[in-house]
């Protein structure tokens, strides 16, 4: 297990190759406990692949990655006990109700039935989903589905939660509400690892990394990145990095 | 954890708008319709009689033949060639020729030869037709004791299905087919559907054990399979009055093991497949071969030797044998030790295979 001083996510030379194609090229970084860590990059930069390796869904080709003190390559099942995950694509059971999805995942993570009931009541109140508790999840609007997926991901109070583009396809107001949930989780001490391509969301993170072509090109707080790249906002930082890539190519 | 997963599978199954209906309708349709339609019994064969004797005996024999359901007299011909013309034109299936002095020879205790020619283009029709005809001819003619000795050189007895009722033979086969289709296809579609919907990703990132995951997939279909079996047994008893000769318990033991075999096979295929189409086609490929080589429709012993060896590796074969034996012969589990052992072996093989092919990490 990790001590509080040890980074909750630690990678060194983490690499994933699919045949001749290298999706992630030896990335090294560390995420501290309680951080909201933004993982940025254009489509196809390797964000999702890197995240899937950290979650124990994909085996690294080379390099080391430790999550919550466990090696993702050798102890993927131990890693899975300590993390929550929300995939890019909605992946809760659409033919189960809100309550049933929460119960199922609570049960999978070994929570007792009483605990599940209490926690469910709490989550439904927090999401203001009391009236929809017994509706099928498939019938909810996208914004609610995303909030529910996030709540399921942190239902068992994991050490780290991985969010893969959690707010794709919804309006700015709904995104804003979603980020309130993220802050709430971070306040409870859950480390948040989030990929996004909305640059306004990058500003909400404690630190961000920017991936280009499978490599991490920049990693710092949003403020220092703006200074470093002499940019007014994160999207300018991002554009400058991508332009470097195009000039180099 | 397992209970939560099983609960989820049951809820999903029961909430599906289509699957529960299919699980009820398919046995109903197959049990009610197919034993009548998929019928190899030979009826209404067109008979052409060539009677050179025209005696009381030959007339009686002809009447007796036509009085059965199996034959209808379509023509009388003056000689064999004329009768053959009728066969060629499709007017007759079978030709029966009585020689001149048939009655006289029979009364004298000589052996008059009756000539039977069948159109064997449809093999079953030909062989079974001539067998029926021979049987009818072998029966003693009333009031002519002598005929018995003359025309009954051998006697046949059909055991366990005395009237060669094809339904008696087909009903247990229908049960096998239904269990194979339902308990095989439902799991085959299940995991691959989770892959397509993306829900399996959330499972794979959780600490769900592979064994638990597979068990949670197997057990609901096991219950569905036993339900189907029960429905079939009730239908067989109510509609066809067909009650198993052996014990119901031994049928359930065999079915319980067999469901695990096919469900396990379905899950293995589902694990290897990326799309539902793929899973369905692969499953179809295997079930077709397994069904056709199981002895369900054609006897295993009449297959070429190499095919018989292959069918030894066919789980369906053992279940078909067991079901027919229990249903028709009243065999006990002790009699079917070999089949039960084979099925248990397959059940373990496919379950273990399903657990190992379910991958949580790419």
Are A93 and A137 a contacting pair, CB within 8 Å?
Answer: yes
Return the CA Rg of chain B: 27
Residue B54 has a CB neighbour count (10 Å cut-off) of 12
- By residue range, what is the domain housing residue A101? 9-248
- Domains of chain B (ranges; CATH) run 2-37+165-357 (no CATH), 45-151 (3.40.1710.10)
pLDDT at position B116 is 82
In this predicted structure, what is the pLDDT of residue A32?
A: 94
On whether any CB of chain B is under 8 Å from the CB of A18, the answer is no
> Chain B partners of A57 at a C-beta cutoff of 8 Å?
201, 204-205, 360-362
Q: What pLDDT, on a 0 to 100 scale, did the predictor assign at position B139?
A: 66
Give mean pLDDT, residues B57-78. Answer: 85
Give A59-102 pLDDT, tens digit per residue: 999 999 999 999 999 999 999 999 999 998 999 999 999 999 99
Domain membership flag for residue A3: no
Tally C-beta pairs within 8 A across A and B. 79
Residue A137 lies in a domain: yes
Give the whole-number percent of chain A exceeding pLDDT 90: 77
Exposure class string for A100-111: b at 16+ Cβ within 10 A, else e: bbbbbbbbbbeb
Nearest chain B Cα distance for residue A91, angstroms: 4
Q: Which long-range contacts (C-beta less than 8 Å, at least 24 apart) are formed by B237-244?
A: B239/B31, B239/B32, B240/B35, B240/B167, B240/B168, B240/B171, B242/B167, B242/B168, B242/B171, B242/B327, B244/B326, B244/B327, B244/B330
CATH of the domain at A235: 3.40.50.300
Is there a domain that residue A211 lies in?
Answer: yes
A85 touches chain B (CB under 8 A): yes
B197 part of contact set with chain A, CB < 8 Å: yes
Sheet with B45-51, side-by-side order of all strands: B71-77, B45-51, B94-98, B115-118
Q: What is the mean pLDDT of residues B212-216?
A: 94
A13 lies in a domain? yes
Domain presence at residue A204 = yes
Average pLDDT, rounded, for chain B = 85
pLDDT band at B140 (very low <50, low <70, confident <90, very high): low
pLDDT, residue B87, reads: 84
Nearest to B205 among A85, A95, A107 (CB): A85
Q: What is the mean pLDDT of residues B26-49?
A: 79
Asked, for residue A153, whether it belongs to a domain, the answer is yes
Domain count, chain A: 1
Predicted pLDDT at B40:
60
Does a structural domain hold residue A4?
no
- pLDDT beyond 90 at B276: yes
A145-163 exposure pattern, b = at least 16 Cβ within 10 A, e = fewer: bbbbbbbbbbbbebbbbbb
β-bridge mates for residue A11, sequence order: A29, A65
The whole-chain average pLDDT of chain A stands at 91
Residues A202-232: tens digit of each pLDDT: 999 999 999 999 999 999 999 999 999 998 8
ipTM attached to this prediction:
0.90
Question: Is residue A138 a part of any domain in this protein?
Answer: yes
């Amino acid at each position: 297990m990790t001590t509080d001083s040890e980074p909750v996510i630690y990678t060194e030379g983490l690499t994933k190759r699919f045949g001749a194609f290298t999706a992630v090229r030896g990335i090294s970084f560390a995420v501290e406990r309680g951080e909201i860590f933004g993982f940025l990059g254009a489509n196809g930069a390797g964000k999702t692949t890197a995240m899937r390796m950290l979650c124990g869904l994909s085996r690294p080709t080379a390099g080391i990655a430790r999550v919550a003190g466990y090696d993702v390559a050798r102890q993927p099942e131990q890693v899975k006990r300590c993390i929550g995950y929300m995939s890019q694509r909605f992946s809760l059971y659409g033919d189960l109700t809100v309550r049933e999805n929460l119960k199922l995942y609570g049960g999978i993570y070994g929570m007792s039935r009483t605990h599940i009931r209490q926690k469910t009541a709490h989550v439904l109140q927090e999401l203001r989903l009391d009236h929809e508790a017994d509706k099928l999840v498939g019938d909810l609007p996208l914004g609610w589905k995303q909030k529910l997926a996030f709540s399921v991901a942190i239902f068992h109070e994991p050490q780290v939660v991985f969010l893969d583009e959690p707010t794709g396809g919804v309006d700015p107001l709904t995104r804003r509400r979603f980020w309130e949930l993220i802050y709430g989780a971070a306040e409870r001490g859950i480390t948040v690892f989030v990929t996004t391509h909305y640059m306004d969301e990058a500003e909400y993170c404690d630190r961000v990394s920017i991936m280009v072509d499978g490599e991490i090109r920049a990693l710092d707080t949003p403020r220092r990145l703006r200074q470093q790249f002499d940019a007014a906002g994160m999207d300018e930082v991002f554009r400058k990095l991508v332009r470097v890539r195009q000039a180099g190519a | 954890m397992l209970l939560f997963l099983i609960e989820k599978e049951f809820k999903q199954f029961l909430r599906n708008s289509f699957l529960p209906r299919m699980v009820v309708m398919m046995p109903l349709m197959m049990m009610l319709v197919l034993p009548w339609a998929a019928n190899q019994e030979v009826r209404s064969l067109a008979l052409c009689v060539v009677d050179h004797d025209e005696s009381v005996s030959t007339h009686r024999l002809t009447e007796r033949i036509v009085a059965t359901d199996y034959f209808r007299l379509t023509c009388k011909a003056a000689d064999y060639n004329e009768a053959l013309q009728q066969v060629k034109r499709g007017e007759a299936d079978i030709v029966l020729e009585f020689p001149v002095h048939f009655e006289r020879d029979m009364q004298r205790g000589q052996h008059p030869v009756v000539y039977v020619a069948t159109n064997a283009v449809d093999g079953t029709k030909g062989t079974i037709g001539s067998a029926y005809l021979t049987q009818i001819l072998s029966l003693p003619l009333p009031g002519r004791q002598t005929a018995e000795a003359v025309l009954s050189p051998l006697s046949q007895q059909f055991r366990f299905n005395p009237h060669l009722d094809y339904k008696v033979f087909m009903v247990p086969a229908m049960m096998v087919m239904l269990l194979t289709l339902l308990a095989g296809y439902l799991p085959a579609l299940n995991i691959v559907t989770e892959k397509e919907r993306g829900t399996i990703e959330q499972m794979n990132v959780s600490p769900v054990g592979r064994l638990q995951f597979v068990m949670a997939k197997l057990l609901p279909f096991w219950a569905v399979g036993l339900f189907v079996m029960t429905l079939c047994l009730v239908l067989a008893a109510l509609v066809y009055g067909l009650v198993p000769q052996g014990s119901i318990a031994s049928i359930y033991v065999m079915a319980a093991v067999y469901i695990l075999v096919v469900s396990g096979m379905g899950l293995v295929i589902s694990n290897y497949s990326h799309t539902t189409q793929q899973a369905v086609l692969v499953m179809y490929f295997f079930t077709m071969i397994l069904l056709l080589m199981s002895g369900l429709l054609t006897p295993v012993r009449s297959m070429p030797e190499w095919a018989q060896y292959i069918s030894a590796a066919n789980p369906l074969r053992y279940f078909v044998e067991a079901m027919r034996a229990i249903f028709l012969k009243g065999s006990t589990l002790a009699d079917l030790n070999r089949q039960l052992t084979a099925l248990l072996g397959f059940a373990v093989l496919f379950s273990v295979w399903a657990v190992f092919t379910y991958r949580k990490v790419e």
